[in-house]
Amino acid sequence: MTSTISASKVTIAPDYAHLCESVADRISARVQAKPNAVLGLATGSTPLGVYKSLVQRFQDGALDFSGVTCFNLDEYYPMSATSPHSYHSFMQEHLFRHVNCRRWLVPNGQAGSDAQVAETCREYEAQIAEAGGIDLQILGIGRTGHIGFNEPGSPPDSRTRLVSLAPQTREDAAESFGGLTHVPHQAVSIGVGTILEAREIVLMASGAAKAEIVRAAWTGSVTEHLPASWVRTHRNIHLYLDTDAASLL
Ligand code: F6R
């Protein structure tokens, strides 16, 4: 018999499957309580099991996304939305083509000039504000300590903008792009400040490769050298880990 241990802010699940079910439970509860909830979503390998579970719940008739609005954290730059490498395609593939969500947005990865990029970033912030702000923000954590693509050096008041990816982040993405040379050097990411304005934040991590950065983010200094540490300043932050990711806490 496996059990999930939950302290006030930290939930430790015995394995990845239980971790994803716990996070999907939290998202489902939020959508059931507020059918027009605004969700902030992440890509990457960590939330894949969460999306699978949400799709299953929708197919079982237990969840309705028709009133929900979703904003994704980031998109590579430059990147066409229709590219198989885009985060837009990722979200379509793993969640949105399977559920009845009518409004989901991903930052624009192909805006053009610097001025056009800046304009689409301002527009994304305005769209979040017009939707009433993010009710529940789901985050993964990169091995550099990034949240979204806010790499070390990102201040707590940063907003949606064009960012440079850290070398380790590009290396971590190399396999999915078929080699490091194909990985973009930049991305459009919502800011740390944008993330911290969400009413509730869930940061999830799985696997031993994340144990050290989870320890540093959760127990070290709160600093812009480790952007994920900023989440500890949020009054409604929940950390969801499996036992491997929690092994150094
Ligand atoms: C993805 C994102 C990133 C990832 C992080 C972890 O939209 O913003 O911060 O959450 O890089 O990625 P995985 O889950 O692939 O380890």
Per-residue model confidence as pLDDT tens digits over 67-92:
999 999 999 999 999 999 999 999 99
Quick one: how far is CA 152 from the chain centroid? 17
The first and second tokens of residue 214, run together, are: 């989870």
Q: Is the CB of 140 under 6 A from ligand 1?
A: yes
What is the residue type of 110? Answer: Q
Atom of ligand 1 nearest to the CA of 74: 7
- Band the pLDDT of 1: cuts 50, 70, 90: very low
CB burial of residue 25 (10 Å; 0-12, 13-18, 19+): middle
Say yes or no to pLDDT of 5 above 90.
no
Q: Is the CB of 176 under 6 A from ligand 1?
A: no
| Ligand 1 centre distance from Cα of residue 164 (Å) | 15
Mean pLDDT of the 81-108 span: 98
Say yes or no to pLDDT of 6 above 90.
no
Say yes or no to pLDDT of 31 above 60.
yes
Nearest CA residue ID for atom 4, ligand 1: 140
Q: Are 236 and 200 in contact (CB under 8 A)?
A: yes
